[in-house]
Amino acid sequence: MSEWKSTACILCELNCGIEIKVGENNTIEKVRGDKNHPASKGYLCNKASRLNHYQNGRDRITTPLRRTNDGSFEKISWDTAIADIAEKLLEIKQKYGGDKLLYIGGGGQGNHLTGVYSSATRKALGAVYQTNAIAQEKTGEAWVFSQMFNAPMGRADFENAQVGIFLGKNPWQSHGFHQTRVILKQMQKDPNRKIVVFDPRRSETADMSDYHMAVKPGTDAWALAAMVAILIQEDWVDHEWMTQHTENYQQVRNLFADISVSEYCQQCGLEESTVRELTQVIKDAGSVAFWEDLGVQMNRNSTLVSYLNKLIWTLTGNFGKKGTQYLPSFIQPLLSARYDDSRRTPVSNARIIGGYIPCNSVTDEILTDHPDRQRALWIDCSNPVHSFADTQRMQQSMRRVELSVVTDIAMTETAMQADYVLPTANQFEKPEVSFFNFDFPHNVMQVRAPIFDAPETVLSEPEIHSRLCEAMGFIPEDVIDELNAVLDEKPEDFSKLFLAKAMGDKNLMKVAPVILYRTLGRTLDKGLEAISPLSAIALKYAMSNPQAVKDAGIEGAGLQLGENLFKALVGTRSGIEYSSEDYDASFKRIKRPGNKIELFIPELAGEIESLSKGSKTLSSDEFPFILSAGERRDYTANGIYRDNNWKKKDLSGALRMSPVDAESLGVETGGAVNVISSRGTQEAVVEITDRMQPGHVSLPNGGGFTNNLNTDKKLEKIGVALNMLTDSDSRDYLAGTPWHKYVPVRLETIQE
Ligand SMILES: Nc1nc2c(c(=O)[nH]1)N[C@H]1C(S)=C(S)[C@@H](COP(=O)(O)OP(=O)(O)OC[C@H]3O[C@@H](n4cnc5c(=O)[nH]c(N)nc54)[C@H](O)[C@@H]3O)O[C@H]1N2
Ligand SMILES: Nc1nc2c(c(=O)[nH]1)N[C@H]1C(S)=C(S)[C@@H](COP(=O)(O)OP(=O)(O)OC[C@H]3O[C@@H](n4cnc5c(=O)[nH]c(N)nc54)[C@H](O)[C@@H]3O)O[C@H]1N2
Ligand code: SF4
Ligand SMILES: [Mo]
């Protein structure tokens, strides 16, 4: 008989609580929202109903594979795979140093236990460089947060905001905050609330908006600088609030005092009167929430835009109160908070932000003869050959290193280039947690139990990393025995003993996740063993935030509070609230003198000044169009669904263009064009729409996958592999984030 089981959707960072009706042969028969999830409360979007295409997806791999001399793959046993890889990793450590192993990935949209376990492998080997998708979207913004707040990242409270501003963000499709569509509809209906969208394209969210600021592609910096200038020149800033909470307004004032608002509005293609009106709306509103996303973060001037955006909300006092910006209380931060801003990569000297090297710098660190180049790659749950800029360079990098290992559930474009491919249990076949805990003032977390049995021949990432650490000799058996003995005889002493051991021995601390798995794990319910490192995370969180945990309803003091938090997390399938605070708790997390926000970032002053030189387009006679490469649509989900059949429409992922451009190219909807950039050519199907500005074209993410593992099947590729078109050198000068939304291209019609 089929039954409903609680888990989470793994398609985007929200990880909505869902219930799955299990069908025969490990299939997902139905999906519904889980009303008991404290944040999503039963919400789910159209994409989740298709999750069987993940559970029983295309290209699944079930045997470890090793590349042979002729480039093909041979099947090997797990014992051979672990022994081989352990030996090669130790060899690389000895020959070049552990810091020559570059780690990529570690948890996509919610399988973050992998990152916890891989930290054991990484730390034990001495690997220090890592990256993942965060370093191609959020690191510019994270750097700005570090400068102004000395905090890793912030969010905003749209549920309660009077005005919601979306910069290069299309939440109707991409979501981002819980119950997105419900909240957007509430905002739209309420005459006292406003939606504002900055987007060159008339997106679905722009359709609902009160102000659609249709900037010219890549010119947001001028629009936002004009708004900061209006606030300053009209003296519409909140002086009282700023005196209390910020520093160095005067220096900021000087930068904007002489900016010509009308000139800047012309540069970005907006009506000056509308920009002034909107700025006044922001000034007068009781609360304003801002969200900047890929449209600006993967675009020109991205770090500067992040700064200008934050200036608008700090100058108007929109922080630390209901309906405005906040700093969430992460149980485990996604980026290191107070990092060393002097850290750079060894070869290309790229800035390392929040602990991550820019995705766009990875190939620079490998495709070189520099003695400090990276010699090995370990990739968990990520498909960088497909998802990082410049597929060709990424492919070459995979082949150039002396060892590359990929763990995935599917034979991906990245796996195809690896030396070893390790097949893993998928997210419904193992316990998991997500560290995308962005909610505030009540923050939530959900521990997921497996719903299906994994194929017998695959392992989970926790098991893979644990076996590897054991094979490399990093796990002391006597400590495991001693801890297990305590668990058998006096379990209440376990936390104390574990902490004493880990604190007393640096090497032990490095592999703590594996130690906890092999000890505490035994005492957890079947299937949940690998959750055990969360106990240490819960202990640490409870010790540093006791009141927030108690206010969330967890009882106890000291170690007991942390243990109870862990028990509550492990014992509930629909997630719990782990932290409850007041709105002004955000101020506490500004780790600067007096908890004050630094308004002035000297490193960006020159950037602001150079805006006066105007916004030159990067289109040219050779490449006259600007391609936005990676639009989120109702049927795109990164690379999580590889099988195109999950889509109910837009199968090929159309290239959207304006009627004017279509006419001059002589192409109709459904017609084919070659999209040609400085790096490559991809064929696309056209969709004509008046949502696009002339000269601006848009392709979706989540397409263009190829598979040729099963040689009996025909090689198929549907849709555009975007990063065949992108150049890893096109990136922000400071954060190294890519300009995926600003790719100069030429279009050539293909005659049938
Ligand atoms: N359906 C769906 N949802 C998803 C995902 C998915 O694959 N599919 N992926 C998830 C992930 S990983 C992420 S990071 C988020 C991303 O979420 P979003 O950032 O919202 O998604 P995008 O569609 O990439 O970009 C947003 C908008 O930027 C606009 N844009 C392009 N150029 C410019 C410009 O010059 N200026 C401005 N202001 N805007 C511009 C685009 O037209 C687009 O509407 O979505 C998440 N949600
Ligand atoms: N041109 C362009 N490029 C982009 C973007 C864009 O807009 N334009 N968007 C960027 C953004 S915002 C993001 S977030 C990235 C996403 O790119 P990636 O971070 O590479 O993530 P995915 O494409 O989702 O790939 C996740 C991989 O994890 C595998 N997987 C699924 N479940 C498991 C599991 O349980 N264990 C393991 N080991 N593997 C699993 C999937 O099969 C898939 O291969 O793409 C980026 N690339
Ligand atoms: S918003 Fe949609 S895709 Fe994102 S987690 Fe929720 S159901 Fe899944
Ligand atoms: Mo992303």
* Phi, psi dihedrals of residue 206, rounded to the nearest 5°: -60, -35
Q: Residue 258: CB partners within 8 Å, gap ≥ 6?
A: none
- Kindly report, residue by residue over 123-163, the tens digit of the pLDDT: 999 999 999 999 999 999 999 999 999 998 999 999 999 99
Burial of 733 from C-beta contacts in 10 A (0-12 / 13-18 / 19+): exposed
Nearest CA to ligand 1 atom 41: 295
C-beta 204 within 6 A of ligand 1: no
Nearest CA to ligand 1 atom 21: 632
pTM over 0.95: yes
Compute the distance between CA of residue 368 and CA of residue 348 in angstroms, rounded to an integer: 10
Of 294, 379, 411, 386, the closest CA to residue 724 belongs to: 386
pLDDT at 187 over 90: yes
> What's the confidence (pLDDT) of residue 336?
81
Query: Are 9 and 51 contacting, i.e. CB atoms less than 8 angstroms apart?
Result: yes
pLDDT confidence band for 717 (50 / 70 / 90): confident
- Kindly report, residue by residue over 422-439, the tens digit of the pLDDT: 999 999 999 999 999 999
- Kindly report, residue by residue over 74-102, the tens digit of the pLDDT: 999 999 999 999 999 999 999 999 999 99
* Residue that is written with structure tokens 């002004």 in the block: 584
> What's the confidence (pLDDT) of residue 711?
44
Q: State which H helix or E strand residue 681 sits in.
A: strand 681-688
C-beta 51 within 6 A of ligand 2: no
> What's the confidence (pLDDT) of residue 197?
99
Query: Are 720 and 703 contacting, i.e. CB atoms less than 8 angstroms apart?
Result: yes
Q: Residue 478: CB partners within 8 Å, gap ≥ 6?
A: none
pLDDT at 67 over 60: yes
Higher pLDDT, 549 or 616: 549
pLDDT at 227 over 80: yes
Q: Which atom of ligand 3 lies nearest, measured to the CA of 46?
A: 2
> What's the confidence (pLDDT) of residue 340?
78
pLDDT confidence band for 708 (50 / 70 / 90): low
- Kindly report, residue by residue over 362-420, the tens digit of the pLDDT: 999 999 999 999 999 999 999 999 999 999 999 999 999 999 999 999 999 999 999 99
pLDDT at 1 over 60: no
| AA identity, residue 294 | L
> What's the confidence (pLDDT) of residue 447?
98
C-beta 387 within 6 A of ligand 1: no
Q: Which atom of ligand 3 lies nearest, measured to the CA of 180?
A: 1
Q: Which atom of ligand 3 lies nearest, measured to the CA of 8?
A: 5
C-beta 723 within 6 A of ligand 2: yes
* Phi, psi dihedrals of residue 99, rounded to the nearest 5°: -75, 5
Q: Which atom of ligand 3 lies nearest, measured to the CA of 175?
A: 1
Of 613, 606, 619, 627, the closest CA to residue 674 belongs to: 627
Query: Are 563 and 587 contacting, i.e. CB atoms less than 8 angstroms apart?
Result: no
Of 701, 696, 706, the closest CA to residue 638 belongs to: 701
- Kindly report, residue by residue over 462-518, the tens digit of the pLDDT: 999 999 999 999 999 999 999 999 999 999 999 999 999 999 999 999 999 999 999
pLDDT at 709 over 60: no
Ligand 4 midpoint to CA 168 (Å): 13
> What's the confidence (pLDDT) of residue 425?
98
pLDDT mean across residues, the chain: 96
C-beta 359 within 6 A of ligand 2: no
pLDDT confidence band for 574 (50 / 70 / 90): very high
The whole-number average pLDDT for the span 227-256 is: 98
Among all bound ligands, the one having the nearest atom to the CA of 43 is 3
pLDDT confidence band for 58 (50 / 70 / 90): confident
Residues linked to residue 637 through DSSP beta bridges, in sequence order: 639
The whole-number average pLDDT for the span 521-540 is: 97
pLDDT at 715 over 90: no
> What's the confidence (pLDDT) of residue 712?
53
Three-point CA angle 641, 646, 649, nearest 5°: 125
pLDDT at 729 over 70: yes
Measured in residues, the chain has a length of 752
Cβ-based neighbour number of residue 387 at 10 Å: 26
